[in-house]
Amino acid sequence: MKKTIKINNKNFKVDIKENLLKFLTPTTPGTKYYDSPPERTINKFEKGRILLQTNQFLYLMNSIGYNLKNKSLLDVGAGNGIVPRLILNFTNLRKCDGTDPFYDGEHTTSWQKHDRDKLFLTLSKFLKDQKNEFDISKYLNSLTQQDFSMRPGKIKLIRNKKTKKMKFYTFGAADLKKLKKKYDIIYCKAIEHISNLTEIIKNINFVTKKGSIVYFKHRSFFSYLGPHRYSSTGIPWGHVLMSSAEYKKYVSKFHKDRKKKMLNFYFSEISYPRFTVNDIIKEFLNNGYQMVLKINENGRFNVEKAKKSKILLDNWKIIEKRYPSLGLEELMSGIYHIIFKKIT
């Protein structure tokens, strides 16, 4: 069978190996590329990812001149909670809380089940051994699988000896009002998994005050691997070019064995209806915030993506009609770092 599919009356070649697999980080031996992480020991690359996220957060706070002393932080979509826990223990924050509706192993994209306390102690010891300094050169060999380009500068760390234990709440961004607290900093790494953008902003308003900082780390749905490994296609930006009906046809033809799971992830576990970075910025500006910083962090596959970008230019009319607020920058994007400040 010839591996092609018709999109908007044009035939597109489907090549999962060339257009998808080569862009993914390796999975555990014996598992499929679309399987959730199995229960196993956290490897050095995952430890590197945690260190990089923490390092980048502190570096960007320093870059915008924001002093963390005596501030409160809420991590929305905290995952295994190690990033906010490290931030709390190696800065002079007053307190830090985290929220996530899923525990390890409970969601497709969740961390595998592991000993969180042991992982925290391991990474804490690493930072102590570096004389309480974040220096990316000291853990760069653990980042070979990370899709990043923003190398944070050196950051001096402060051992926080007065902090209380981090509090963790098991609900999502749509229920932040339940906290009945306000924070100085909101850190959110999972906005692409939340569907109602207006509801997100509304709930963030419940937990912020004038002067609060909101920091999004965001992988756009419209980027090359926007639908994650679980529902990306064998066509470059196929998820952008296809209508919903065409995507369902594609899945039925090429992924019969996991059709239900793939469609569920595509329409339920990542934001739907879709919103662009411009939509995010517009929504915040309309709700009394100013944008302080926006960085598009393209990663290690930038050259390969550029080689495939002709498909976007050749089919721009399709994209423009479906997503009028979408630009080429977002289609070519990696990870966005966007920081807002509440001014009213």
pLDDT digits (tens, 9 = 90+) for 54-97: 999 999 999 999 999 999 999 999 999 999 999 999 999 999 99
The sign of the dihedral angle between the CA atoms of 137, 74, 39, 26 is negative
**293 DSSP β-pair partners:** 339
Does residue 260 lie within any of the structural domains? no
DSSP conformation class of 69? T
Does residue 21 lie within any of the structural domains? no
Does residue 250 lie within any of the structural domains? no
pLDDT of residue 2: 64
Query: Which stretches of the chain score pLDDT less than 50?
Result: 1
Q: In the chain, how many H helices and how many E strands?
A: 14, 11
DSSP conformation class of 163? P
- Domain with residue 167: its CATH number is 3.40.50.150
pLDDT digits (tens, 9 = 90+) for 300-319: 889 999 999 999 999 999 99
φ and ψ of 41, to 5 deg: -70, 140
Q: Is omega for the bond preceding 273 within 30 degrees of 0, making it cis?
A: yes
pLDDT of residue 1: 45
pLDDT of residue 194: 87
Please, are residues 76 and 187 in contact by the beta-carbon 8 Å criterion?
Answer: yes
Please tell me the distance from the alpha carbon of residue 258 to that of residue 260, in angstroms, as a whole number: 6
> How many domains does the structure of the chain reveal?
1
Does residue 58 lie within any of the structural domains? yes
Please tell me the distance from the alpha carbon of residue 89 to that of residue 163, in angstroms, as a whole number: 7
Tokens read off for 137: 């050169």
Does residue 269 lie within any of the structural domains? no
Does residue 255 lie within any of the structural domains? no
Residue 211 lies in domain: 44-226+275-317+325-342
Does residue 36 lie within any of the structural domains? no
Does residue 54 lie within any of the structural domains? yes
